A and B are shown apart, each in its own frame.
Chain A
């Protein structure tokens, strides 16, 4: 049952990144990112309960609480505050139309399946499927980052890549050492703070957070 639950969660996490890709507005990006983080916290919770029952380890459950505090409450709140203060007129900011973006993402899932299948010794069956899903989340985050023009969209793309890396690491190792998790979280908070600050600066300088306008800096 818990095996089935964790594979359902891994599919839902993949699906939430597709939903993120199909969104048009920055406020919905933040909402989708929050949902994805909730799903990841849930997956960590399932894994944490299992490791607590089997081996008596508490650390994955603590990490789960940290994910809830940081990625579900703090970082989306911070992004919402940034978004409220640099609000601009036009919100649609993608380079291709949405059906094509989503279809390319689908291609990325197939791609990550074939890359994973070509690795010798990659495990078959369930964990293989979960690995494919979480690696696809990384690819989709990267693609999200390059398909959006506004700085806030790119921050969220980075956060999705990070989510994908985190879930891949968690599935592959059944729980990383606690100190590594803490290091990743501290890095993440620093990154978001710096990027938020930078977004304010870009907005001050150019009256917009469209990163295409940074091309004006060329001599």
Chain B
């Protein structure tokens, strides 16, 4: 304690506070945009005009002004779940840097913590869906439990592979290592892990081959079935939490597999702004890619989802296998 000069502590703390503020503002503002873009691109491919890109902001604003209806047989879990889901999504967002030009100094945590935090949110969401004992809630919970238990191993294996390549489990360090590689998709290990993560993103964010986010059809819904009972402010928080979680996964993908910060040679405030603009460009690109995947596939039946999960696990596992066959070859 005595050899820490006040000036340095002040600098580090300022750096971390700036990081937290920028990270939260960017995540909160950009999160509903991804869903809106996906819907817009889907509408355009179907020769429809579609809802405006900013529709989700209007929806959230409207929902936040309404009161929530809470069933009188429900317990505290039902009321706490929206806040926990939103808070865990935001905490997850703090662990995945949007730009490596601002690196957190005082925030510990790595991808294992990220996966666990998001799993906590998901647990409360499933518990709350079971709480009011409606039929759809239980159905949605059981489906979500199945999908998430199938997908979780492949997230961990995929991220462990990138962690092994960069020699660290911390997400900022992983992203900084990739920036040296240049074009990661030419490298076999990154290619496998990237494809695995693409499948994981689609499954985790309830996109079409796994779950259809735009319908309330009894046979297909997973995420919607769980939040069917909610209304008003609680619904807004759950929707916002889901959007933030989606952005967290998209950020993870684009910042690991399409690194951009090595293109900016200078440091300082301008670099951060430029880096954030490039980041938003990548997020838009990713949203278009997800939308095109959604347009070109059909929804799987529930019992075909293990095939998809097996494929993503195999991709991640082959990635780690190729890494060991390469003999600890660092890029």
Contacts and interface: CB of A to CB of B under 8 A. Distances in A.
How many residues of A sit at the interface, in one of the four size bands? 20 to 34
Chain A interface helix/strand/loop/mixed: helix
B188 A113 contact: no
Contact of B326 (A14, A18, A102, A129): A129
A96 to B, nearest CB: 12
A22 B311 contact: yes
Contacts of B192: 11, 15
A22 B306 CA distance: 11
B117 interface: no
A106 B188 contact: no
Interface of B: 186-188, 191-192, 306-307, 309-311, 314-315, 317-318, 321-322, 325-327, 329
Contacts of B318: 11, 14-15, 18, 106, 109
Given A18-B314, A99-B306, A113 B327 contact: no
A117 to B, nearest CB: 9
A124 interface: yes
A14 B309 CA distance: 18
Interface in A12-67: 14-15, 18-19, 22
Contact of A124 (B188, B191, B311, B327): B327
Contacts of B188: 7-8, 10-11
Contacts of A105: 314
Closest 10 pairs between A and B when the two form their complex, measured CB to CB: A99-B310, A11-B188, A129-B325, A102-B310, A98-B307, A99-B306, A8-B188, A102-B314, A106-B314, A7-B188
Interface string A85-118: 0000000000000110011011001100100000
A173 interface: no
A128 B325 contact: yes
Contacts of A103: 310, 314
A138 interface: no
10 contacts: A10-B188, A11-B192, A11-B318, A11-B322, A22-B311, A102-B314, A103-B310, A113-B325, A124-B327, A129-B325
